[in-house]
Amino acid sequence: MKAKELREKSIEELRNSETELKEQLFKLRFQKATGQIANPAKIRLARKDIARVETILAERLREAE
């Protein structure tokens, strides 16, 4: 997910995206633990996407103050 796409979303949409990404990360970690994951790099990408969402959320909340 690109930062530009995330900046176009509302705060509520960002929170929903964050929740979905965290669920996805949980599933990927579970797959890694059971040896079923085909591409372990997806875990790193999911973590980076979560960080992007959290960063943009923090920026938006700071602007709102």
Q: Which pLDDT score, from 0 to 100, does residue 21 have?
A: 97
pTM: 0.89
Helix (H, G, I), strand (E, B) or coil at 2: coil
Helix boundaries (H) for 1-40? 3-7, 11-34
Q: Which pLDDT score, from 0 to 100, does residue 30 have?
A: 95
Helix, strand and coil content of the chain, in percent to the nearest 5, comes to 80, 0, 20
Q: Which pLDDT score, from 0 to 100, does residue 56 have?
A: 95
Q: Which pLDDT score, from 0 to 100, does residue 27 have?
A: 96
Q: Which residue positions in the chain have pLDDT lower than 50?
A: none
pLDDT digits (tens, 9 = 90+) for 40-55: 999 999 999 999 999 9
Structural domains of the chain in order of their starting residue, each with its CATH number: 3-64 (1.10.287.310)
> Tokens standing for 9?
């979303």
